[in-house]
């Protein structure tokens, strides 16, 4: 949802779900299993965004199973990686407050309601 609504607009969807899934897999591998809980969703999203931001800074998104493949090759220009990195940094600083604005499946509103204790 973040890719589609917030990041994809910046680069005409050349930042793919595969890039996002790759960042998720590397993040899962790096952090302990016990943090991956529903009640820790915001922190988990921040961790994944940090991984993606690190890939963008390095200009290298490693393929999870195929060594030496850069998933950014022929997808994103350097200036686009800079835009994305800046946007992601802003999201992280706001503790992903942008999540509340997500319209897909009314996710943002449903998440906010859940935090407020509204069913």
CATH of the domain at 18: 1.10.1410.40
**Beta-carbon-side half-sphere exposure of residue 37 (alpha carbons within 13 Å):** 5
What's the pLDDT score for residue 115? 78
Q: Cα(81)–Cα(25) distance, rounded to whole angstroms?
A: 20
> Considering all CA atoms of the chain, what is the largest pairwise distance in Å, rounded to the nearest integer?
47
Domain annotation covers residue 7 = no
Domain annotation covers residue 113 = no
What's the pLDDT score for residue 119? 62
Domain annotation covers residue 119 = no
What domain count does the chain have? 1
| pTM listed for this prediction | 0.89
What's the pLDDT score for residue 9? 78
What's the pLDDT score for residue 29? 97
Count how many residues are written for the chain. Answer: 119
What's the pLDDT score for residue 109? 87
Range of the domain at 36: 13-96
Distances (CA, A) of 19 to 23, 39, 74, 86: 6, 25, 13, 17
Domain annotation covers residue 79 = yes
Task: Collapse the DSSP code of 84 into the 3-class scheme (helix H, G, I; strand E, B; otherwise coil) and give the result.
Answer: helix
Per-residue pLDDT of the chain (119 residues; tens, 9 = 90+): 899 888 877 888 899 999 999 999 999 999 999 999 988 988 999 999 999 999 999 999 999 999 899 999 999 999 999 999 999 999 999 987 888 888 888 888 888 888 788 76
């Amino acid at each position: 949802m973040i890719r589609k609504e917030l990041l994809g607009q910046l680069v005409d969807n050349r930042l793919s779900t595969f890039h996002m899934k790759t960042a998720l897999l590397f993040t899962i591998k790096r952090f302990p299993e016990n943090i991956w809980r529903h009640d820790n969703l915001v922190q988990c999203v921040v961790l994944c965004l940090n991984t993606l931001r690190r890939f963008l800074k390095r200009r290298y998104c490693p393929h999870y199973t195929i060594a030496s493949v850069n998933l950014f090759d022929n997808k994103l220009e350097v200036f686009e990686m800079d835009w994305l990195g800046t946007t992601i940094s802003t999201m992280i600083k706001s503790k992903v407050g942008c999540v509340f604005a997500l319209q897909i499946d009314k996710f943002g509103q449903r998440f906010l309601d859940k935090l407020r204790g509204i069913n």
